Structure 1
Amino acid sequence: MSPGTILDSKPESHPNRSSSKLPQTHTQLDRLTAVLVTARERYTSANPTSSRLHVEATSHLPGGNTRSVLHASPFPLYMTSGAGNTLLDADGHRYLDLVGDMTAGLFGHSQPKIQETLVKTISSVGLNLGATTSAESQFAAVIKERVKSIEQLRFCNSGTEANLYALSIAKIHTGRRKVLVFKGAYHGGVLGFATGVAVNNVDRDEWVIGKYNDVASLRELVRQYKGELAAVLVEGMMGAGGCIPGSAEFLHAIQEECRSNSLLFILDEVMTFRLAPSGLQSTILHPTTNQALSPDLTTLGKNIAGGIGIGAFGGRADLMAVYDPRTSSVPHSGTFNNNSLAMACGLVALPSIYTPAACLELNALGDELRAKLNEIGAGTRMKVTGVGAVSTVHFMPDPAAKIRSVEDLEAQKGGIEESLRELFYFFAIEKGYWVARRGMTSLILGTTRDEVDGFLGIVRAFVEEYRDSLTI
């Protein structure tokens, strides 16, 4: 079946389909609110099994959920299987997967070499030997070859862990406790800064919150907290914060301030490693010297092991020596740090599948998609930001507005912009395209130009159908 089919019927056969055109005596927001009510009703009618499964799940899980970002109102869709870059839900709807597990699902749901490696490893090596293996050093060598700023590295279980360990190195190395991060950033499950310091964050009193892409603010905060800061932690593109690219001027200013003030520059490439063969850091060149970024520490995760849970942190050898068990008493333990499946899949995923050529091709397709989406939305509230194959669709009150930080996105909270984002989600789902509720898309390896063109087609249809709400 092709994306969008519901077993033997078309997505257009969803019940209660009605026109978005309402009497012009209503205000723009009133009309959109009425359209959203109908969209939610169609969603509920089309997905009774997911609705039932959600109700059942609430008896065992708070909110029926164990990963907050996957929650959706009135209920999330329950997926039963995936193949390649498609998903099948519990009600028989098939989708083109444009979420890619929030960038982690780069290799799709059934990549043949990954499947073969998993079966072979389970049958010939075992799941987890609880001992050192040569695979971990081989995989480390592969990563070092790709990310030139990494001299040594260690594995862990997630991007969250990678950032926590990198921060621990910074605090041990400098003897200081505070860390400068940026509003809107997400560095892991207990390291979120969407609107400031998240309520579940560790070390809540030790964060200094800056404004992304603001060089003057950065320099002032470094000056203000001189002698207290241990590190600056930043993403080269703010991922969960809206796929906002960092400017070369801003990111190199961070590097310069860290070097000048004996701070550690930690670059979070958990999401962004996939955006260039050597990570996003290799593409962000100094405005005058043309030199790439060279962070003291880099964190990785999500997509480096073919879809198996993993994290890694690495950088300067003298810093990584903090965790050298031959010379240091600082422990770094973790039962699954070097688990057989992640190590084996990583050794296949990067050298044999996500080669530099494959990386460049996928991200060029993503750049093309984003450019065409912005053409479709020109003059409307719709604006798309991102780098390469990872983007976010925004709805802004000012079509000419520039998006350089999450502060620029605050105008879309509430009102018509937030309603449009929700409507876009329902529209795409109904047409057979799996997108994140927050508008994020992340192309899976092997996605074709024809599939991208199909998505462009439904976005054109969305803009045409709701132009009265999208136009200022």
Structure 2
Amino acid sequence: MSSTTSRALFTWIAESVAGGESSYARLRAGGQLVMDRAEGARIHDVDGRAYLDYCGGYGVNLFGHAPRFLLEAITETMGQIGVHVAYPHRLAGEVGELVVSLVPGIEQLRFAASGTEATQAAVRLVRAATGRDLILKFEGHYHGWADHLCAGLGAASASRPATPDSPGVPATALDAVWVLPFNDVEALREAIAAAGERLAGVILEPAAGSGGLIRPAAAFLEALLADVRAAGGLVVFDEVMTGFRLAPGGAQELLGVTPDVTVLGKIVGGGLGLAAFGGSRELMRLEAENRVVHGGTTTGSPAALAASRSILTRLHDRPELYETLETTSAALADGIERAFAEAGVAGHVRRVGSMLQPFFSPRPATEPLTLAEVAALQDDERFVAFCDALEECGVIGHRYPLGRWFVSLAHAPADVDETVGAVRAALARIDVQPVTG
């Protein structure tokens, strides 16, 4: 399939935009497709090819691309007040009420313009509330690209203090961050004891979206909540990816636990620049009384809030949508695994709700608990080759081997069937690992 126009246009973009992308994650994923339009579950490139999309705007588009209700909400608000004003708008209260009604761990919130900004604000709040400096995070858990947490993405990255993941991040920026192995109760308790009076809190993804979809083991989560709080620290759930995706109240609703601080992004903004962080009224008093510096020119812009209200209202009023999302996601995962088996391929699918990822290895006998364990399950080279072949067959998924695909409410049963057919065709095109053992 020709992509002449896409590649030429990408080359043109790269003349003025470094790398042709404004995100390291997209640049790392590779490829030179340039998109022209999108609707529902499909995106269309400038060469006129259509693809079933499982990137979903990197998890933003829970209702698929360009749902009419979302566009109408944004247009109506922009016609009334424009894109942005520097003063409060009633939409701020309406969205705030919706978030508070849906997310167990939030009684009050503040808006931010991105998930990275919101995690930064959450960490600052925790440090201010405790009067301490040290933050614990975990291998494979991603909390944005800013200096304050830019560490620990790789396996065997545990260190004290944390080691920067990127050139340009001063080591001193991470003096007050320790990276720990995930799901290791002994390591957690030892770190808490070693931290002593420095421990401000811990931040984690309740499902590691860029780290193989590893979930916290029950014993580990129980120890984390109890021991961190007993030591005077606070617990932050980074639900930028899982918030409103796994359940109306996010992963914390499914897990039945309430963190001290919750960070939201992606779905909460409906594709516009909106994120949020929040906690109890008592904790958020530090923000309300302006004792902690937090701001931003476009935090809580009316256009973004209009998008958020339209999305969250539907999730609030129609919780049954999550049953549909679960059914579709399970059918897709099962279909991919059947296609692997029919092709004689050693493969399985890891899934947490509507987040899933194919792996080129047999399903392990026990659930992996660490980044190293889940990384050992993926054949990176074959996975990328598989994604390239899928693209040629009209399906796009995230090309990062430990990433995740996102299923949307726009994906219909017929789309699942088409995707499984494309998986079969893609497997026939690549050098696959035969089933062993």
The residue aligned with 1:367 is 330
For residue 431 of structure 1, what is the aligned residue in structure 2? 393
Normalising by structure 1, report the TM-score: 0.82
SS at match of 2:433: helix
Secondary structure in structure 2 of the residue aligned to 1:58: helix
Cα distance, 1:318–1:174 mapped onto 2, change above 3 Å: same
Letter in 2 for 1:426: D
Shift of the alpha carbon at 1:72?
5.7
Which of these residues, 405, 408, 417, is aligned with residue 444 of structure 1?
Answer: 408
Report the CA distance shift for 1:397/1:204 in structure 2 as closer, same or farther (over 3 A).
farther
Structure 2 counterpart SS, 1:208: strand
Are 1:318 and 2:269 matched, yes or no?
no
Partner residue, 1:358: 321
* 1:35 alignment counterpart: none
Q: Structure 1 residues 377, 223: closer, same or farther in 2, change over 3 A?
A: farther
Post-superposition offset of 1:321: 1.1
CA deviations over 1:53-108 (Å, ceiling 9, x no partner): 22223321222221121126764211111111211112111101111112112232
Matches within 5 A, 1:326-341: 327-341=289-303
Aligned to 1:234: 204
Aligned-pair CA distance for 1:376 = 4.1
Aligned match of 1:194 = 153
- TM alignment of 1:31-50, pairs within 5 A: 46-50=2-6
For residues 343 and 80 of structure 1, what CA distance do their matches in structure 2 show? 26
8 Å CA contact retained: 2:29, 2:399: no
The one-letter code sitting in structure 1 at the alignment partner of 2:219 is: E
Query: Percent sequence identity over matched residues?
Result: 30
Residue 120 of structure 1: how far off its partner (Å): 0.7
Amino acid at match of 2:22: T
2:35 to 79, 86, 97: 79
Deviates more, 1:247-256 or 1:441-450: 247-256
Q: Contact 1:181–1:210 (CA<8 Å) still a contact in 2? A: yes
Asked whether the equivalents of residues 109 and 277 of structure 2 are also in contact (C-alpha less than 8 Å), the reply is yes
After superposition, residues 252-291 of structure 1 pair within 5 angstroms as 252-273=222-243, 274-284=245-255
**Offset at residue 216 of structure 1 (A):** 2.3
| Larger mean Cα displacement after TM superposition, 112-121 or 357-366 | 357-366
**For 1:112-168, what per-residue CA distance to the aligned partner results, in whole angstroms no more than 9, with x for missing partners?**
111111111111222112111221011101000001221111111111111111100
8 A contact 2:83–2:302 mirrored in 1? yes
Unaligned stretches of 5+ residues in structure 1: 1-13, 15-45, 285-291
What CA distance in whole angstroms lies between the structure 2 residues aligned with 1:343 and 1:468?
46
**1:442 Cα deviation from its structure 2 partner:** 0.3
Q: Does the alignment pair 1:156 with 2:112?
A: yes
Partner of residue 453, structure 1: 417
The whole-number CA distance in structure 1 between the counterparts of 2:124 and 2:28 is 35
Distance 2:119 2:241 in 1: 12
Partner in structure 2 of residue 220 of structure 1: 190
Q: Structure 2 CA distance, aligned partners of 1:429 and 1:407?
A: 28
Paired with 1:376 and 1:247, the residues of 2 have a C-alpha distance of: 30
- Corresponding residue of 2:161: none
Question: Equivalent residues in 2 for 1:90-129 (5 A)?
Answer: 90-129=46-85
Distance 1:308 1:408 in 2: 36
- Aligned residue pair count: 416
Decide whether the 8 Å contact of 1:463 with 1:470 is kept in 2: no
Contact conserved, 1:383 with 1:399, CA < 8 A, in 2? no
Structure with greater Cα Rg: 1
Per the alignment, residue 251 of structure 1 pairs with 221
Cα offset for 1:430?
A: 0.5
Comparing 341-350 with 352-361, which one deviates more in the overlay? 352-361
CA distance in 1, matches of 2:105, 2:360: 37
Q: Distance in 1 between matches of 2:375 and 2:290?
A: 46
Q: Is 2:101 aligned against 1:145?
A: yes
How far apart in 2 are the matches of 1:404 and 1:371?
22
When normalised by structure 2's length, the TM-score is: 0.89
1:451 to 1:251, Cα distance in 2 relative to 1, 3 A: same
- Alignment partners' CA distance in 1, 2:431 and 2:6: 31
The Cα of 1:470 is off from its aligned counterpart by 3.9
- What is the distance in 1 between the residues matched to 2:175 and 2:334? 41
Distance 1:258 1:87, change over 3 A: same
Distance in 1 between residues matched to 2:290 and 2:169, nearest whole Å: 28
Query: Helix, strand or coil: the match of 1:338?
Result: coil
Q: Which moved more, 1:208-217 or 1:131-140?
A: 208-217
Counterpart of 2:68, as a letter, is: P
Q: Secondary structure at the match of 1:312?
A: strand
Residue 43 of structure 1 corresponds to none
Gaps of 5+ in 2: 158-163
Superposed CA RMSD in Å reads 2.2
Change (3 A) 1:92 1:470: farther
Instruction: Quote the residue 2:24 is aligned against.
Output: 68
Letter in 2 for 1:350: L
Instruction: Give the SS at the match of 1:209.
Output: strand
For residues 189 and 337 of structure 2, what CA distance do their matches in structure 1 show? Answer: 33
